[in-house]
Structure 1
Amino acid sequence: MSEQRPWLAHYPAGVPETIDVQLYTSVVAVIEEAFERFRHRPAFTNFGRELSYGDIDRLSAQFAAYLQNDLGLGKGDRIAIMLPNVLQYPIALFGALRAGLTVVNTNPMYTARELKHQLEDSGAAAIVVLDNFAATLQKVVAETEIKHVVTTGIGDMLGLAKGALINFVLKHVKKMVPDYHIDGAVRFRDALSRGGDGRFDRVELAHDDLAFLQYTGGTTGVAKGAMLSHGNMIANMLQASAWIGDQATPGEEVIITALPLYHIFSLTANGLVFMRLGGLNVLITNPRDMPGFVKELGKVHFTALTGVNTLFNGLLNTPGFGDLDFSRLHLTLGGGMAVQRAVAERWKKVTGCTLAEAYGLTETSPAVCINPLDLAEYNGSIGLPIPSTDVQIWSDEGERLPFNEVGELMVKGPQVMQGYWQRPQETAKVVEPSGWLHTGDIAKMDENGYVYIVDRKKDMILVSGFNVYPNEVEDVVMDHPGVAEVAAVGVPDEHSGEVVKLFVVKKDPNLTEEALKQFCHDELTGYKRPKFIEFRDELPKSNVGKILRRELRESQPAS
């Protein structure tokens, strides 16, 4: 056993080898337990407005009733939620799950093209969208299966006077809400009113039923919906909870939620695991406003914080952060991208709390490995496989490699997705018949079971924890009439880990960098847009004509 799973001998005290997935029938059972157990405790806070577990119970029940009774939506129907971290998000999320729907988390920063693809692919029948992004939806909604649109403003759940003021300032002073018109759209607060007393029909949910379609590029190409079942999500919640163990006190934790809840890391870790613990989620709507973020941190005695390397680095470089009260902070978890040693060491020095690195994938709900939370200092590893999780390092021939040998990181466990939505061939490429998932990451494991990421097999670019797939960027750029050939690669960046760089062969000799960047600005979400463009006479190719991205990456000067 120890030879096969050496990590078990190095588990923190009290962490079990396995979890009991049968503990809950569905994610709904988990959240309803939290509603009852912590009814009078605060659950979510945003812009100074606090909602208790009882409030979230009542409001999400009203939303569930609206979805079922007014819209006629039933078990398995898909609903897209296109919201940043605002109070409407947990209400819509838990309401949709209680109504038996499958949630399609949708990045509010999507361009019209990206949004159309996700709505078409998922077959979503309804969408909840923030006013700030509704103009994008307006452009494509008629070309999708969306029948019901619910719109909301950032201030809508913050009380009448304060909410109205915030909405007015955002639209008329800061000009952050473009004009839009969508026929038949219903306001979020009106939807809650129509939900009346919150009486909805209980939906029988089982482990195999889909809770989320969580879109990702997978290993190549266009975004695909990872089918995350109720069983997958319960498993990962229980795995993460077991790992946290007595490092967290039920009903006492205050977790800073700056990563968007539509991102799988934040969704599971903050939105679900800490909810099960009766924690208070402090929702940060715009963490890019670092001075504003630090100001919010100064208002709460926070105990836990999750984020990506760029977030921690940004905070450390923001005036005032070092003066905050870190006396209650005892858990900092970094995921989504590699945590840099310099950032981790500085974080420990400033806050007194070790920055523990974790590793996961959208396809694994997401957690696979986590470092012990009582780790004395940063160790450069992504940690140990969590309970009920098997990890192996495979050669290209599919053979298990010995300790410290470098190969592909393979994962097996109850948190591994059901597959990609309506893409059985894509699923077959990454999930072996035996259940092993190809991560596409190159790694090694030491004798103690600690896993170290060495490189990435796939050409994916990781910008601030978000996956950017070169194929998608290249496909968009090739639509420009002045482009003959293009390759997209990731180049190191001290702020976001990596940024996109394009290598372009011109078709039109007059094509400029500025013109191509503007084209990309119109077609791609911010993190996918190229920061650098280099024009070349030709691109390196293999003997079968495939552009050699690796050669382009290696041609870059070392940073």
Structure 2
Amino acid sequence: MNLSDQLSITAKNYPSKTAYVFQDEETSYMELESSVKKFASQLEKLGYQKGDHVALIVGNSPYYIAGLYGALRLGLVVIPINPLYTPHEMSYILNNGDVKAVITMDILLDKFVAIDDQLPKVNHYISCESGAEVDLDNHTLSSKMKSFTVMVQGGSVDYVGPNINEDDAAIILYTSGTTGKPKGAILSHHNLYSNARDVADYLTITREDRVVAALPMFHVFCLTVSLNAPLINGGTVLIMPTFSPSEVFRMTKDHHATVFAGVPTMYNYLLQSAKENKDSFSGIRLCISGGASMPVSLLKDFEQAFDVNISEGYGLSEASPVTCFNPLDRPRKPGSIGRSIIHVENKVVDERGDEVEIGEVGELIVQGPNVMQGYYNFPEETSVALRDGWLYTGDMAQMDDEGYFYIVDRKKDLILVGGYNVYPREVEEVLYSHPNVMEVAVVGVPDPELGEAVRSFVVVSDPTITEEILADFCKEQLVKYKIPTQIEFLDELPKNTTGKILRRSLRDKVTN
């Protein structure tokens, strides 16, 4: 079984059931299934075949759902990309991922003008209408352009796709690595289906649930928990184009939402408006938190203010992503990421790979049907991450005597900005490309709203270089949340005897 086949079954069994709500308009499962078939048939008509790679660079919308499931129906491999990325960031992923077609919004097409000649494998840009006035007829890329809407209108509702094997690649999720180059985690149809199924079972998400999709759909947290999990059981997805506390409260009340999933930053914003909006959350039976550790004080204050339980979990792109959640059938433990979900095993090991004693700290490793096949075009990194059937997460954790896990420390240098991963090396590489930057080190510092913020320390050759100049330089190549919020100039960076920059010393300098 796979996600696309399950959608067909649900549409057959419950054709009039609402699959999703967008801008207060409801779309049934049969209508969604029809769009999926039509889009898949037109992709095939353009010459795309099972195994080809397509990028999905679309915000939260019906385009994302029909585009994703339509491509999967044909057996294509989908590469979701953050629409806010700069052309510089996108071009690397599109080339490394061997992308042949890009599904994107019409208002984003100008981003590809400057890099189109750097993308020799891209044959088509499939444009989704945003409602803005965009002159597509005279666009520079018009010769490669196709309209998503026109494709669906001209597609066939009788389309039957190729046979899909459960081990066939379905999605490649690019996640930043310690080398500064993002790596694509290859997730099979079975990886995605099993995790959506097991998350839905563990959290008892059923056909009666209406799940708010406020997280970005290109992010694996939303992809599995807020999109695939409810769709796999015939639930309804309440699509939010962007996160807005006032819109969350309106949507949960007007559309009778039952489940909300978000990162701690979102809960913090919602809590600030708790008094006047408490009744809007009266129908919510469960809140889900992930992406970063939630402060215990925030968790308790939110639960008390809205009279709802928050189940905190843990996951990573390489595991589709969920491996742990706090169970719903017993008191959850604040500060814990919970217990292993169904069919997934977590354990804590030492440097030799041997399981440590209860309560001791070691590396968290994962095994299950949700674990990726490897990194696309990165065989060495794959061999490091996947060993003896286990995924080594790089996160330090401990387990108590009831099987609850606790994250003690994150991957060595990872910075979590509002739930988004930022690796220092990627930011450092951009700063190093400035002609006047001699040395640079980037660390994460505490931030009351976002959890962490990016801070950089630089050594420059020209004393006239200012923080504003370097920040503007970063804006040209990095998405907003990766740009340093502070840049400090030093005469030299602290190093050990081998010349390695000591990030911990810099981090201590800020936090002490």
Deviation at 1:30, TM superposition (A): 1.9
Secondary structure, counterpart of 2:374 in structure 1: coil
Deviation at 1:466, TM superposition (A): 1.1
2:3–2:232 Cα contact (<8 Å) kept: no
Deviations 1:142-184 (A, max 9, x none): 21111011112234xxxxxxxxxxx35xx79xxxx9x963222
1:359–1:370 Cα contact (<8 Å) kept: yes
1:286 aligns with 2:242: yes
Alignment of structure 1 residues 13-24 onto 2, 5 Å:
24=1
**Aligned match for 1:67, one of 23, 40, 43:** 43
Deviation at 1:238, TM superposition (A): 2.3
Which residue in the other structure is 1:120 paired with? 95
Deviation at 1:461, TM superposition (A): 0.8
**Alpha-carbon separation, structure 2, partners of 1:216 and 1:203:** 29
Secondary structure, counterpart of 1:80 in structure 2: strand
**Alpha-carbon separation, structure 2, partners of 1:131 and 1:152:** 6
Deviation at 1:377, TM superposition (A): 5.6
Deviation at 1:92, TM superposition (A): 0.7
Which residue in the other structure is 1:136 paired with? 111
**Alpha-carbon separation, structure 1, partners of 2:110 and 2:17:** 37
Which residue in the other structure is 2:435 paired with? 481
**Alpha-carbon separation, structure 1, partners of 2:330 and 2:214:** 23
Q: TM-score, normalised by structure 1?
A: 0.88
Which residue in the other structure is 1:301 paired with? 256
> Residue type matched to 2:453 in 1?
V
Which residue in the other structure is 1:316 paired with? 271
Deviations 1:412-471 (A, max 9, x none): 111110000011111011111x11111111110011110000112321111111111111
Q: TM-score, normalised by structure 2?
A: 0.96
Deviations 1:352-396 (A, max 9, x none): 111110100000000011001245465210000112222121122
Which residue in the other structure is 1:359 paired with? 314
**Alpha-carbon separation, structure 2, partners of 1:38 and 1:233:** 22
Which residue in the other structure is 2:140 paired with? 181
Q: Are the structure 2 counterparts of residues 321 and 375 from structure 1 closer, same or farther at C-alpha, using a change threshold of 3 Å?
A: farther
> Residue type matched to 1:453 in 2?
I
Deviations 1:101-146 (A, max 9, x none): 1111011001011100010011111111112322112221221111
Q: Percent identity?
A: 36
Deviation at 1:244, TM superposition (A): 2.1
Higher RCO, 1 vs 2 (CA within 8 Å, ≥6 residues apart): 1
Which residue in the other structure is 1:213 paired with? 172
Which residue in the other structure is 2:410 paired with? 456
Deviation at 1:28, TM superposition (A): 2.0
1:345–1:378 Cα contact (<8 Å) kept: no
**Alpha-carbon separation, structure 1, partners of 2:249 and 2:432:** 41
1:410–1:439 Cα contact (<8 Å) kept: yes
> Residue type matched to 1:276 in 2?
I
| Structure 1 gap ranges (5+) | 1-23, 156-166
Which residue in the other structure is 1:198 paired with? 157
Which residue in the other structure is 2:376 paired with? 421
**Alpha-carbon separation, structure 1, partners of 2:347 and 2:34:** 45
> Residue type matched to 2:187 in 1?
L
**Alpha-carbon separation, structure 1, partners of 2:111 and 2:249:** 31
| Structure 2 gap ranges (5+) | none
1:341–1:378 Cα contact (<8 Å) kept: no
Q: Are the structure 2 counterparts of residues 407 and 240 from structure 1 closer, same or farther at C-alpha, using a change threshold of 3 Å?
A: same
Q: Are the structure 2 counterparts of residues 376 and 77 from structure 1 closer, same or farther at C-alpha, using a change threshold of 3 Å?
A: same
Please report the RMSD computed on the Cα atoms of aligned residues, expressed in angstroms. 1.9
Deviation at 1:528, TM superposition (A): 0.6
> Residue type matched to 2:152 in 1?
L
> Residue type matched to 1:324 in 2?
D
> Residue type matched to 1:182 in 2?
L
Aligned length: 509
Alignment of structure 1 residues 393-432 onto 2, 5 Å:
393-432=348-387
**Alpha-carbon separation, structure 2, partners of 1:320 and 1:73:** 53
Q: Are the structure 2 counterparts of residues 534 and 180 from structure 1 closer, same or farther at C-alpha, using a change threshold of 3 Å?
A: farther
Deviations 1:307-330 (A, max 9, x none): 100111112224776343323211
1:264 aligns with 2:182: no
Secondary structure, counterpart of 1:486 in structure 2: strand
**Alpha-carbon separation, structure 1, partners of 2:99 and 2:84:** 18
